[in-house]
A and B are shown apart, each in its own frame.
Chain A
Amino acid sequence: MADAKVIPFDDDRSRARRRPGRAEEPSGSGTGGPAAVRALPGAREVPEEARTEASGAEAPEAPEAPEDGGAGAGPGRAAWERRLAGGLAFLRRRVTGEYEVDEFGYDAELTDQVLMSMLRPLYEKYFRVEVKGVENIPEKGGALIVANHSGTLPLDGLMMQVAVHDHHPAGRHLRLLAADLVFVLPVVNELARKAGHTLACAEDAERLLRAGEVVGVMPEGFKGIGKPFSERYKLQRFGRGGFVSTALRAGVPIVPCSIVGAEEIYPMIGNAKTLARLLGLPYVPVTPTFPWLGPLGMLPLPTKWTIQFGEPIPTDSYPPEAAEDPMLMFNLTDQVREQIQHTLYKLLVQRRSVFF
């Protein structure tokens, strides 16, 4: 079934069991201070308010939440007040619906203020992601980032999104292409759309690239994310290479990206195939902790991650009709794949240990 669903732009990011809230708590309680100093205005208070905002009518209850946050912030009452005011202005726009989304449903404000702040503790404190070569993503104009995919749950895509969002000098936003499963699941599809993800299909990818967006794709798809632990860091087949022809048609460079660390977060030692077929999922992982420890087993291992963006591969030297040349497509796909695999090995050699 999983094979039947494979589409050229395959990036399965079932965020169903993504647990930003839960993962945030262990680190969040200890990191109130550093988080409060971060430059992003209102980043700390906003999640609290955003939750009350969901029900709309609870505005009168809100004063407690910002005050708690303020007590911890300590120095600089003016700065705190400014942040609080920013948060309240955000809340005001949310309750009145006066914000904008693009045609893909991307809610830039919500992503910046809430979703990224929820993922950031996971990114900074839990996986301690190290980003290299982010300057390889062009300052402006479209680019297609092609990355390896692993980790049972598509946390690698989300971390890549935070990496681009937080580290790129031009503050670019990564628009990920996700598997159709993401858009079938309730709640997940809503969050994915608001975070700027869209279905991995040539139409959407080309539309985004032509609009000058940075698009992220993981062509291994379910084959990559659901591969057993024994095959870690071995790149799977890159779909049918549809991503290359899309990049060529849009005339944007391809930026290979290698992610080290995601393979070990859920070491998949088995696959409950019957259960997966029953649930209509591509796989149901069995790890040393899941399902044996119940929900606790769903906690990812705190591995140390490295995300390396490689040298961009330009595609604008090819004529438009080159996108119809299968041989060239295969060669380019292999080139991208080789480069990612090569970088993966290099990063693995440099790595001191899985966890540090």
Chain B
Amino acid sequence: MGKVVLVTGAARHLGGRFVRRIQRDPEVERVVAVDAVEPGHPLGAAEFVRADIRRPAIAKVLAEHEVDTVVHLDVTGTALGAGGRTSVKETNVIGTMQLLGACQKSPRVARLVVKSSTTVYGSAPRDPAVFTETTPAKSLPSGGFAKDAVEVEGYVRGFARRRPDVAVCVLRFANILGPRVDSPLTEYLSLPVMPTVLGYDPRLQFVHEDDVIDVLDLSAREPRRGSLNCGTFNVAGDGVLLLSQCARRLGRPTVPVLLPAVTWVGTALRTVGLTDFAPEQIRLLTHGRVVSTTQMREVLGFLPRYSTAGAFADFAASRGPGLLPPETLAGAVDRLAGRVAPGARPVASGTVPSPPTPSDDGS
């Protein structure tokens, strides 16, 4: 008797990918994909159930299909299609409450995986440089998706307390990047000219969408020998990129703006509909956020294939070249080197150790 997996948020890109992926698992008998809207992508052999997780009807779906593993991916920052922030918040918070309520009623449910985000740590100058899973946030997020994530995690903790027999895994993802990921951050990184906060160079961490699917797959199964897949885990690629580095690697010029003005620019851009520049986004782009992934490696036993730089390189390759492509700038410097010091030209590219280049496309 195989497992029956229910996946919420199946109409989204990540949800769809995960639904297609989990079907290939031989242990899985059926996959039930749930979302409030019809997905635009194929879901393979999965059974799509159009249900709104904000309604109690979700309990019926759980009972009808005899679901034993629930993968809750419908915790997101952006609305799918129409619908503003209010409906997103409702889906995140009320949806999670309903889903957890339904899980609590269903005796068959044995495993719950919840997609959360490292935004739960907030971003403040008085925070330690690296967050571990147990670091309390100095400044709790005041609103937006970050606050939703905090609330969702609160409900999940409550559920875990009431149903100790269910293995609960909360995955806190760093900024998810990938060729087809749509998030406020990818929108921001796609701007032709990137506004930055004057005098701040935040540290950023990315996780590739392929790794997201892999780690979800890992936590939805029985734990591998010597690993434990219930608990809370930060998920991020190795290494750190500064925003200035990101801009240079993308080849996009930056415009430093004074912090108060950034808020206005953000509001203006949001009004025009260019980008969803939420206050939490501005905080991230001011103070940055780095999490420790020791638990992910040692307890969960997951080793991401993409480093932060690797995930970023894959993302950068999927976007068109910027106004100042790094190749052009490098070529200009090389030409300059050829003109100014022709004899020394080989030194410029030869003896200098450049570790980032190979690790970039590798990993």
Q: Which residues of A contact B (CB under 8 A)?
A: 56-57, 59-60, 62-63, 66-67, 78, 81-82, 84-86, 88-105, 107, 180, 183-190, 193-194, 198-199, 201, 203-204, 207
Contact = CB atoms under 8 A, between A and B. Distances in A.
Question: Which of A97, A184, A201 has the most CB atoms of chain B within a 10 A radius of its CB?
Answer: A97
B203 A101 contact: yes
A159 B126 CA distance: 25
B201 A190 contact: yes
B347 interface: yes
A281 B247 CA distance: 33
B332 A199 contact: no
B341 A204 contact: no
Interface in B245-264: 245-249, 253, 259
B336 A193 contact: no
Given A63-B339, A85-B344, A100-B356, A199 B333 contact: no
Given A60-B336, A82-B344, A96-B329, A103 B200 contact: no
A194 to B, nearest CB: 7
A106 to B, nearest CB: 10
A96 B249 contact: yes
A194 B243 CA distance: 13
A154 B345 CA distance: 41
A94 B352 CA distance: 13
Interface of B: 125-130, 132, 135, 197-201, 203, 239-242, 244-249, 253, 259, 287-288, 290, 309, 324, 326-327, 329-330, 332-334, 336-337, 339-341, 343-345, 347-349, 352, 354-357, 360
Contacts of B244: 97
Contacts of B128: 199, 201, 203-204, 207
B207 to A, nearest CB: 15
B201 A103 contact: no
B125 A81 contact: no
What 10 pairs across the A-B complex have the smallest Cβ distances?
A: A186-B199, A97-B248, A85-B344, A187-B199, A96-B326, A183-B125, A81-B344, A203-B128, A85-B347, A97-B249
B336 to A, nearest CB: 6
A105 B344 contact: no
Contact of B340 (A88, A93, A185): A88
A99 B135 CA distance: 29
23 contacts: A56-B324, A60-B332, A63-B339, A66-B340, A67-B340, A85-B337, A89-B349, A95-B330, A95-B333, A96-B327, A96-B329, A99-B356, A101-B240, A103-B203, A104-B130, A107-B242, A180-B126, A186-B200, A186-B259, A194-B201, A199-B129, A203-B130, A207-B129
A229 to B, nearest CB: 31
Contacts of B332: 59-60
A85 B352 CA distance: 10
Given A203-B130, A203-B135, A97 B199 contact: no
Contacts of B253: 56-57
Nearest to A66: B340
A57 B324 contact: yes
